[in-house]
């Protein structure tokens, strides 16, 4: 087993020293007279870019003393260059990776469960580069079967895409047994989030893209309406009971949109010049996203637009918030092009009330991915 990887809290001082004066002043001012955030434990995946193994560990932030460490949980094998996605379920970590499969298949993903008892492969057939969704203790995955390749037509015809048999399945996290909750035909059925007993699915078909709610107990489907076929980066706003996502608007401009999960009505929260806003809805109803020009997180407050450079000590780059627990926010920071030669993407855990942060330190050259907070139950 690998030695625990030490979280470099000593790096915080160095990062602050390199930050612009105004950023340091804002972060320190925000930290004054604030009660420390309650501890939370984050599951983290990391590995060499060309490796066929990904390691999973846990790090607890907010203890207030000592140096937090990344404690190993286990590892998962996969094909070289596999995407890694995950979620948490109680004390277990669920990890989806790509395993060897038929050439051209879209369904070579496999789901694994890691905990104190070891690692277990639960099932295969997952849609590539997709992860599990935990809904009220139930584990859902997107799966499918490759359809027939379309017959090439005249050069003047539009490119035809393959229509596959798609399913949303529930997986027993103890045995790996699956049962199908929904089935259909199309290009992809993507699990976009959950609220209460419903999971929200982004469905792409020849007729267009749409969203629907799936009752995980009964399998009942509730349509939420059509959307443009470029929607991505979904999260759920529990205050407004809305689904927040990015979508391509007219004139090649991206919008951050909010879809009411009751009425299906959509609201444009922001139109941006950037092509990767990566919005994330916070539990309190605010939305954070990567700002234009990649200079830090932009926070959309419920009543106004407020810029908060929560991660500016990490330098310019795109910031993708992925998981939240209490005041802690996990954010993946990718440096701008001019820095990528010497700085790999990093994972930082931020206290959204104070701006204080903890960098997750992994071996040099490793990718790093947040899988979710264990205290959160669902990711």
Q: Among 136, 80, 137, 132, which residue's Cα sits nearest to residue 110?
A: 132
Q: Which two tokens stand for residue 208?
A: 């267009």
Computed over every residue of the chain, the mean pLDDT equals 85
- pLDDT tens-digit map of 122-181: 999 999 999 999 999 999 999 999 999 988 766 556 667 899 999 999 999 999 999 999
Range name among 87-96, 191-200, 239-248, 249-258 with the lowest pLDDT average: 249-258
pTM, entire model: 0.86
d(CA 23, CA 39): 25
Q: Hunting for tokens 């994972």 — which residue is that?
A: 347
- The CA-atom distances, in angstroms, between 250 and each of 191, 238, 255, 273 are 26, 28, 9, 12
CA atoms within 13 A on the CB side of 28: 11
Strands (E), 196-345: 198-205, 208-215, 221-227, 232-237, 242-248, 254-260, 266-272, 280-281, 287-290, 297-300, 305-307, 317-325, 328-335
What percentage of the chain has pLDDT greater than the value 70?
81
Q: Hunting for tokens 């003393």 — which residue is that?
A: 65
Q: What is the mean pLDDT of residues 181-186?
A: 98
98, 108 Cβ separation under 8 angstroms: yes
What percentage of the chain has pLDDT greater than the value 90?
63
Residue 120: burial class (beta carbons within 10 Å; 0-12, 13-18, 19+): middle
Hey, where are the domains in the chain? 1-77+319-379
How is 156-222 classified by DSSP, letter by letter? TSPPPPPPEEEEEEEE-TTT--EEEEEEEEESEEEEEEEETTEEEEEEEETTEEEEEEEETTT--EE
Q: Which residue has the higher pLDDT, 339 or 248?
A: 248
Mapped onto helix, strand or coil, the DSSP state of residue 98 is strand
351, 37 Cβ separation under 8 angstroms: yes
Q: Binning pLDDT at 50, 70 and 90, where does residue 312 land?
A: low
- pLDDT tens-digit map of 53-110: 999 999 999 876 555 789 999 999 999 999 999 999 999 999 999 999 999 999 999 9
Residue 354 confidence (pLDDT): 81
Q: Among 90, 201, 196, 94, which residue's Cα sits nearest to residue 143?
A: 201
d(CA 359, CA 345): 11
Q: Which two tokens stand for residue 125?
A: 């057939």
């Amino acid at each position: 087993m690998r030695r625990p990887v030490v979280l470099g809290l000593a790096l915080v001082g160095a990062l602050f020293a390199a930050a612009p004066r105004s950023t340091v002043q804002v972060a320190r001012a925000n930290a004054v007279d604030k009660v420390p955030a309650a501890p939370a434990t984050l599951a983290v995946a990391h590995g060499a870019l060309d490796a066929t193994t990904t390691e999973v560990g846990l790090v607890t932030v907010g203890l207030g003393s000592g140096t937090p460490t990344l404690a190993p949980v286990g590892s998962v094998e996969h094909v070289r260059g596999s995407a890694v996605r995950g979620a948490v379920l109680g004390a277990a970590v669920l990890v989806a990776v790509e395993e060897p499969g038929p050439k051209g298949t879209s369904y070579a993903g496999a789901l694994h469960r890691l905990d104190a008892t070891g690692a277990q492969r639960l099932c295969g057939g997952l849609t590539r580069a997709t992860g599990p969704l935990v809904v009220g203790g139930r584990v859902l995955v997107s799966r499918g079967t490759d359809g027939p390749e379309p017959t090439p037509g005249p050069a003047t015809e539009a490119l035809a895409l393959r229509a596959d048999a798609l399913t949303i399945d529930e997986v027993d996290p103890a045995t790996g047994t699956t049962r199908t909750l929904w089935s259909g035909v199309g290009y992809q059925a993507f699990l976009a989030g959950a609220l209460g007993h419903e999971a929200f699915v982004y469905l792409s078909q020849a007729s267009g893209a749409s969203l629907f709610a799936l009752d995980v107990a009964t399998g009942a489907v509730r349509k939420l309406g059509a959307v443009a076929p470029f929607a991505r980066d979904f999260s759920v706003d529990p205050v407004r009971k809305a689904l927040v996502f990015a979508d391509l608007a007219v004139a090649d401009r991206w919008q951050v949109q909010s879809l009411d999960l009751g009425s299906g009505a959509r609201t444009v929260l922001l139109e941006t010049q950037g092509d990767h806003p990566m919005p994330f809805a916070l539990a309190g109803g605010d939305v954070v996203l990567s700002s234009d020009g990649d200079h830090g997180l932009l926070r959309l407050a419920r009543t106004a637009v407020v810029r908060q450079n929560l991660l500016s000590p990490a330098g310019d780059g795109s910031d993708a918030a992925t998981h939240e627990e209490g005041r802690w926010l996990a954010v993946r920071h990718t440096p701008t092009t001019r820095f990528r030669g010497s700085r790999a993407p990093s994972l930082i855990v931020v206290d959204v009330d104070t701006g204080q942060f903890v960098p997750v330190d992994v071996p040099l050259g490793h990718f790093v991915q947040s899988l979710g907070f264990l205290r959160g139950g669902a990711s």
